[in-house]
């Protein structure tokens, strides 16, 4: 079927502002392939079912919106207490001076901008592969655009336990930056790797992270999205898991007029575990969308989706979460919960939980709720002398706790909790 | 200490009058008990004094050491020294008991212009008080009242009271849902707090609790008013004869 003219126009207008990076022949071929795949489907518009609750306009238009920089005040550096190797991008451009030396034990870290110039590299067999797999049954054209046009990113190859976390730090210094980064992460059998991400990255940010997790490997991911409120961002994680492997991802978001975080996971080896969680705190014209698609294609795998949003002053939260259990994926254990705490009547939470199951011996549960603050609890706290605003914060943190609990590392979890209570407190001031 | 004059209160949603002119004075160092049949307005009185939403004061006043209680937010009343031990303590999932206690103590101290307690000072204090109420470390770590038995919840209320050291304590049917041993333990906790500077208002259905917490004055409340006041013997009379005689006598 031919693409509607309007979609073609929007897609070409966007492409006209971008130059496809040139490199080795394999890289050029993969990019060209992505470009033709994108042209076949076109960029999303609001008539697309998958974009029913989130208007993609600012993410697809030729020029991204301007975004003022956020004054972080006296905030401590996040993850400051963690042993880590920092890789810094400023408005999507690698900053060698600010970054640590990219060498570590059991891990090789390179950059897409360099790797794509070399003739032989493992990335050749993986770049865009999981992104392509993630296009069915639902198209994700912004990820395809990313594969075609990404200017840089990190290529991480972990061969064993990597003792230091790898921290991708995204600074935003230009009010009109438009960044596209594509990370490729490959964990060999038994590898163990933690990726941290923090910062607003750019006025408009399109990021893809493809993660190939071999048998027995463990991947941990904790990210904090930047607070520059006017920034817009679309991110995709594509992960494929082997036997007895684990994937755990947690995202903390406060502020942002447009955030769409997609996470597409395939459990292809038996006894694998995938947990995806998010805590979001939004105020005013905040719009935050978590879209998750988990495919169980092996036996005895476990998946968990835990998403919590606190919304006030007309903020909007969206959750689209799906568990697909393929025929033969017996003993699947799937769990999905999405909840919102609406601090006033103007805010809204739109949830679309889905289960699609073709195996007969599985446990899958899902739930979604929206509620106001518990008045009885609030009065109880106030009757003990806790001011209303502090009491509301305590109940808010308690509400988010189930999602934050998904962060396995105690130190990182503490970091997230401190950051959250600091945010809540400062907003009051 | 606590002075209530001609207090009239309506339920906001139902347009129903609950309190129809309550007069009551609790002096420092004294324990007053309020007894009365179901629906007489006892719990409403405790909620109105502590500032719960849903009630409308249509007349009268209530002061604590001369300060107008009815004009304050619930947290201000607490900081001024008022404490309500809830009939049904609320479960708060996700908020640790210790965090809750420490936040409450320091909020009150801050409101009164006092220094906040350090983590170490707080810990020492809470361990000491918890021990006498047989509250173990495990209970202190759990979320507020979540998964607590009826007795544990009431003991937790008394622990909060012991930590916050209020001037005026209102106990709303603290004996409900307690077995004899638990009631004794709670009563001991309350008795330990009795001193010349502190007033108590004990709301109860049964004389049983008053065997353990000996009141100075007993009031009988019915139909939104205090209809009779007397010494501890009044509680014994109610226990033996019920409320019928007293109600008939007043009518």
Collapsed DSSP state (helix, strand, coil) of residue A150: coil
User: How far is A384 from B162, CA to CA, in rounded Å?
Assistant: 12
Sign of CA dihedral A188, A189, A190, A196: positive
Cβ contact A387–B143 (<8 Å): no
Which SS3 state, helix, strand or coil, does residue A281 take?
strand
Question: Which pLDDT does position A346 carry in this prediction?
Answer: 93
pLDDT of residue A75: 65
Alpha-carbon distance A340 to nearest alpha carbon in chain B (angstroms) = 15
Q: What is the pLDDT of residues A180-210, one digit of tens each?
A: 999 999 999 999 999 999 998 999 999 999 9
Residue A412 lies in a domain: no
* Domain tally, chain B: 1
Contacts (Cβ under 8 Å, ≥6 apart) of A344: A312, A313, A314
Whether the Cβ atoms of residue A258 and residue A230 lie closer than 8 Å to each other = no
Residue A247, token pair as written in the block: 């994937």
Q: Give the number of other Cβ atoms within 10 Å of residue A35's Cβ.
A: 18
Q: Which pLDDT score is estimated for A1? A: 62
Mean pLDDT value of segment A140-158: 98
> What Å distances lie between residue B247 and B43, B94, B217, B243, CA to CA?
19, 47, 19, 6
Say whether residue A380 is in contact with chain B using an 8 A CB cutoff: yes
Q: How far apart are CA A376 and CA A378, in angstroms?
A: 5
Q: Is A27 exposed, middle or buried (0-12, 13-18, 19+ CB in 10 A)?
A: buried
What is the pLDDT, as a whole number, of residue A76? 67
Q: Tell me, what's the pLDDT at A406?
A: 93
B244 burial level (CB within 10 Å; 0-12, 13-18, 19+): exposed
Using the 8-state DSSP alphabet, how is residue A50 labeled?
G
Question: B247 burial class (0-12, 13-18, 19+ CB within 10 angstroms)?
Answer: middle
What is the enclosing helix (H) or strand (E) of B81?
Answer: none
Q: Residue A162: left (phi > 0), alpha (psi -120 to 50), or beta?
A: beta
Quick check: is A397 in a domain?
A: no
With 70 as the cut, is the pLDDT of residue A72 above it? no
Residue A152 per-residue DSSP state: B
**Residue A275 located in a structural domain:** yes
Residue A258 placed within a domain: yes
**pLDDT higher than 80, residue A77:** no
Interface test with A, best of B53, B55, B75, B162 (most A CBs within 10 A): B75
Cβ(A191)–Cβ(A217) under 8 Å? yes
Residue A135 CA, distance from chain mean position: 17
Residue in chain A lying closest to B165 (CA): A384
CA distance B232 to B185: 21
ipTM of the complex: 0.96
Per residue in A368-409, pLDDT (tens digit) is 999 999 999 999 999 999 999 999 999 999 999 989 999 999
The mean per-residue pLDDT over the stretch A277-305 comes to 97
CB pair distance less than 8 Å for A388 and B78: no
DSSP codes, A180-246: EEEEEEEE-TT-EEEEEEEE---SEEEEEEEEEE-TT-EEEEEEEE---TT-EEEEEEEEEE-TT-E
- What is the average pLDDT across A273-288? 96
Residue indicated by tokens 């070399």: A118
Average pLDDT value for residue range A249-273:
96
Residue A400 lies in a domain: no
Whether the CB-CB separation of A235 and A262 falls below 8 Å is answered with yes
Interface contact A383-B51, CB threshold 8 A: yes
**Bridge partners of residue A212, in order along the sequence:** A186, A240
Asked whether residue A257 is domain-assigned, the answer is: yes
Q: Which residue would you say has higher pLDDT here, A76 or A32?
A: A32
Q: How open is the CA angle B96-B99-B105, to the nearest 5 degrees?
A: 140
| Contact assignment for A381 to B164 by CB distance below 8 Å | no
B139: domain CATH number is 3.40.50.300
pLDDT of residue A228: 84
Residue A357 has pLDDT above 50, yes or no: yes
Q: Which letter does DSSP use for residue B93 in this model?
A: E
The yes-or-no verdict on residue A238 having pLDDT over 70 is yes
For residue A161, give the DSSP letter. B
Look up the domain containing B58 and give its range. 2-250
Which of A411, A283, A395 lies closest to A346 in space, CA to CA?
A283
Chain A residue with the nearest C-alpha to that of B105: A385
| CA separation for the pair B212, B201 (Å, rounded) | 14
Choose among B217, B190, B201: nearest CA to B84: B201
The dihedral over CA atoms of B105, A396, A170, A43, expressed in degrees to the nearest 10, equals -170
- The band of A302, judged by pLDDT with boundaries at 50, 70 and 90, is very high
Residues A294 and A324: their CA atoms lie apart, in Å, by 6
Q: Are A390 and B84 within 8 A, CB to CB?
A: no
Distance from CA of B13 to the nearest CA of A (A): 16
Question: Starting from the edge strand earliest in sequence, which strands make up the sheet with A84-90, in order?
Answer: A93-94, A84-90, A165-171, A192-199, A218-225, A246-254, A273-283, A302-312, A333-342, A363-371
pLDDT, chain A, mean: 94
β B2-11/B16-26 pair status: antiparallel
For residue A369, the chain B residues in CB contact (below 8 A) are none
Q: Give contacts of A398 with chain B, Cβ < 8 Å.
A: 92-95, 143
Are A326 and A301 in contact by the 8 Å Cβ rule? The answer is no
DSSP code at position B107: H
Q: Residue count of chain B, please give it.
A: 251
Candidate from B93, B99, B104 with C-beta closest to A384: B104
Q: How far apart are CA A30 and CA A127, in angstroms?
A: 8
Long-range contacts made by residues A343-346, C-beta under 8 angstroms, separation at least 24? Answer: A343/A310, A343/A311, A343/A312, A343/A313, A343/A372, A343/A373, A343/A392, A343/A396, A344/A312, A344/A313, A344/A314, A346/A313, A346/A314
Q: In chain B, which residues have their Cβ closer than 8 Å to the Cβ of A376?
A: 90
Would you call B86 and A380 a contact, using CB atoms and an 8 Å cutoff?
yes
> Is it true that the peptide bond before A137 is cis, omega within 30 degrees of 0?
yes
Q: Which two tokens stand for residue B91?
A: 């479960």
Parent domain of A79? 5-375
Domain count, chain A: 1
Does residue A49 form part of some domain?
Answer: yes
Q: Predicted confidence band at A7 (pLDDT cuts at 50, 70, 90)?
A: very high
pLDDT per 10-residue tile (average), chain B, 251 residues = 96 90 95 92 95 95 96 96 95 91 95 92 93 87 91 92 95 88 89 94 89 93 93 89 82 67
Cβ atoms of B54 and B12 within 8 Å: the answer is yes
Backbone angles phi, psi at A91, to 5 degrees: 50, 35
Q: In degrees rounded to 5, what are phi and psi of residue A15?
A: -65, -30
Confidence tier at A429 by pLDDT (50, 70, 90): very low
- Pairing assessment for the beta strands A154-158 and A178-187 based on DSSP bridges: parallel
Q: Which residues pair with A88 in a beta bridge?
A: A169
Query: Of the candidates A218, A210, A254, A212, which has an alpha carbon nearest to the alpha carbon of residue A235?
Result: A210
Q: Over the stretch A96-122, which tens digit does the pLDDT of each residue have?
A: 999 999 999 999 999 999 999 999 999
What is the rounded (10 degree) CA torsion for A241, A243, A244, A249? 0
């Amino acid at each position: 079927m031919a693409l509607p003219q309007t979609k073609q126009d929007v897609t070409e207008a966007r492409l006209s502002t971008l130059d496809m990076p040139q490199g080795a022949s394999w890289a050029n071929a993969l990019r060209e392939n992505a470009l033709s795949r994108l042209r076949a489907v076109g960029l999303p518009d609001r008539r697309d079912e998958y974009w029913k609750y989130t208007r993609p306009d600012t993410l697809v238009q030729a020029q991204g919106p301007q975004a003022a920089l956020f004054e972080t005040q006296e905030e401590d550096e996040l993850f400051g207490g963690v042993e880590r190797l920092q890789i810094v991008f400023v408005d999507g451009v690698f900053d060698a001076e600010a970054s640590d030396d990219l060498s570590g034990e059991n891990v090789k870290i390179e950059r897409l901008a360099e790797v794509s110039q070399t003739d032989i590299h493992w990335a050749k067999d993986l770049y865009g592969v999981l992104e392509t797999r993630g296009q069915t049954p639902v198209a994700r054209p912004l990820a395809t655009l990313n594969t075609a046009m990404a200017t840089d990113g990190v290529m991480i190859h972990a061969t064993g336990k990597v003792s230091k976390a790898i921290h991708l730090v995204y600074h935003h210094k230009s009010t009109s930056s438009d960044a596209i980064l594509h990370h490729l992460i490959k964990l060999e059998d038994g590898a163990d790797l933690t990726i941290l991400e923090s910062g607003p990255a750019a006025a408009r940010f399109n990021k893809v992270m493809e993660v190939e997790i071999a048998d027995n490997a463990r991947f941990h991911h904790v990210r904090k999205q930047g607070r520059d409120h006017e920034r817009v961002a679309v991110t995709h994680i594509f992960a494929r898991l082997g036997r007895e492997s684990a994937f755990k991802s947690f995202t903390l978001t406060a502020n942002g007029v447009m955030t769409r975080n997609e996470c597409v996971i395939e459990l292809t080896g038996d006894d694998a575990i995938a947990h995806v969680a998010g805590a979001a705190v939004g105020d005013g014209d905040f719009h935050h969308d978590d879209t998750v698609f988990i495919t169980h294609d092996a036996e005895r795998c476990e998946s968990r989706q835990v998403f919590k949003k606190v919304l006030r002053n007309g903020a909007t939260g969206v959750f689209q979460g799906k568990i697909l259990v393929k025929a033969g994926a017996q003993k699947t254990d799937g769990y999905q919960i999405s909840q919102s705490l609406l601090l006033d009547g103007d805010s809204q939470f739109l949830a679309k939980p889905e289960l699609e199951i073709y195996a007969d011996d599985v446990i899958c549960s899902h739930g979604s709720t929206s509620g106001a603050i518990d008045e009885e609890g609030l009065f109880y706290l106030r009757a003990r002398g806790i001011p209303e605003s502090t009491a509301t914060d305590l109940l808010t943190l308690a509400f988010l706790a189930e999602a934050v609990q998904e962060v396995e590392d105690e130190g990182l979890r503490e970091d997230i909790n401190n950051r959250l209570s600091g945010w809540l407190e400062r907003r009051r001031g | 200490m606590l002075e209530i004059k001609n207090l009239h209160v309506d339920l906001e949603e139902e347009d129903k009058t609950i309190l129809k002119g309550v007069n009551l004075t609790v002096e420092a160092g004294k324990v007053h008990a309020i007894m009365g049949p179901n629906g007489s307005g006892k719990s409403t009185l405790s909620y109105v004094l502590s500032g719960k939403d849903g009630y409308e004061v249509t007349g009268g006043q209530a002061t604590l050491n001369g300060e107008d209680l009815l004009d304050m937010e619930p947290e201000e009343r607490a900081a001024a020294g008022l404490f309500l031990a809830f009939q049904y303590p609320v479960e708060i999932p996700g908020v640790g008991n210790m965090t809750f206690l420490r936040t409450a103590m320091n909020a009150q101290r801050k409101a009164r212009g006092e220094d906040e307690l350090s983590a170490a000072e707080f810990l020492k204090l809470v361990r000491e008080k918890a021990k006498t109420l047989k509250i173990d470390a495990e209970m202190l770590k759990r979320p507020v009242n979540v998964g607590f038995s009826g007795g544990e919840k009431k003991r937790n209320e008394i622990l909060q009271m012991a930590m916050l050291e209020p001037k005026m304590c209102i106990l709303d049917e603290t004996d409900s849902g307690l077995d004899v041993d638990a009631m004794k333990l709670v009563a001991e906790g309350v008795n330990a707090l009795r001193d010349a500077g502190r007033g108590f208002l004990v709301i109860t259905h049964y004389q049983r609790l008053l065997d353990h917490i000996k009141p100075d004055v007993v009031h009988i409340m019915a139909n939104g008013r205090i209809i009779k006041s007397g010494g501890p013997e009044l509680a014994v009379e109610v226990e033996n004869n019920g409320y019928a005689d007293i109600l008939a006598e007043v009518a």
